[in-house]
Amino acid sequence: MTRSTQAVTNAAPACVPATGAMSNMVTLGAGCYWGTEKYVRKDFQQKFPGSVKKATVGFMSPNPNAQKNPSYRAVCSGSTGHVEVLEVELNDPNKHYEELLRFFFMFHDPTTANRQGNDMGTQYASYIFTYDDKQAEIAEKVKKEVNSLIAKDAISTYEQGEVKTKIGKANEFYPAEAEHQDYLAKNPGEFCCTTGEGFQLCV
């Protein structure tokens, strides 16, 4: 996988939702962010037209005190603790947030900790970053349902027998360079380990 190593410099603060309302921001790590973007921008949008207002690939760390403005090369080394993520802005989070999380568990393997295919390291973690308590509650519910389906052998395409996806509070998001945005659409022959092949989830 060949990517630019230009430093990321345009940091954006985490969204703070209005009191009493679920945030319309969603940040997901599912291995290579190129694949995550492709499945959300193209496939999720086909399933739920008009659901996504904006989607941006970049980096987020579970640690609020992590290095600021990490370069792509630094993130790829696994030394910064940042995860390759897709930050999504939904038009109607009450309608589509839970649907997006269910879709999230369909296009990558959440049972392989810090790995998707040949991509290995903490930067490829399966991660749901949440912006409020309601999002966290829904994320925990969906994760529990997926684990239940695995235990019942209703899902047999995952590599292991337990979901390793982490759920935690969103921190500062750092967008990747412009050339990384919508990368697979611009480079359809490029390889990406987030394949989305074979996973069946009916919850």
Exposed, middle or buried by CB within 10 Å (0-12, 13-18, 19+), for 159? exposed
Residue 199 lies inside a defined structural domain of this protein: no
Residue that is written with structure tokens 């047999």 in the block: 156
Give me the pLDDT at residue 156, please: 82
Give me the pLDDT at residue 132, please: 97
Residue 17 lies inside a defined structural domain of this protein: no
Give me the pLDDT at residue 199, please: 45
Residues with catalytic function: 32
Name the 3-class secondary structure at 181.
Answer: coil
Give me the pLDDT at residue 13, please: 37
Domain range spanning residue 126?
25-186
Chain Cα centroid distance, residue 47: 18
CATH number of residue 136's parent domain: 3.30.1060.10
Q: Which residues of the chain fall short of a pLDDT of 50? A: 1-19, 195-203
Give me the pLDDT at residue 191, please: 56
Give me the pLDDT at residue 6, please: 36
Residue 19 lies inside a defined structural domain of this protein: no
Chain Cα centroid distance, residue 120: 15
The Cα 4–Cα 142 span in angstroms is 35
Residue 201 lies inside a defined structural domain of this protein: no
173-175 and 52-60: which strand pairing?
Answer: antiparallel
Taking residue 15's Cβ as centre, other Cβ atoms within 10 Å add up to 16
Residue 35 lies inside a defined structural domain of this protein: yes
pLDDT digits (tens, 9 = 90+) for 125-141: 999 999 999 999 999 99
Total tally of structural domains belonging to the chain: 1
DSSP state of 180: G
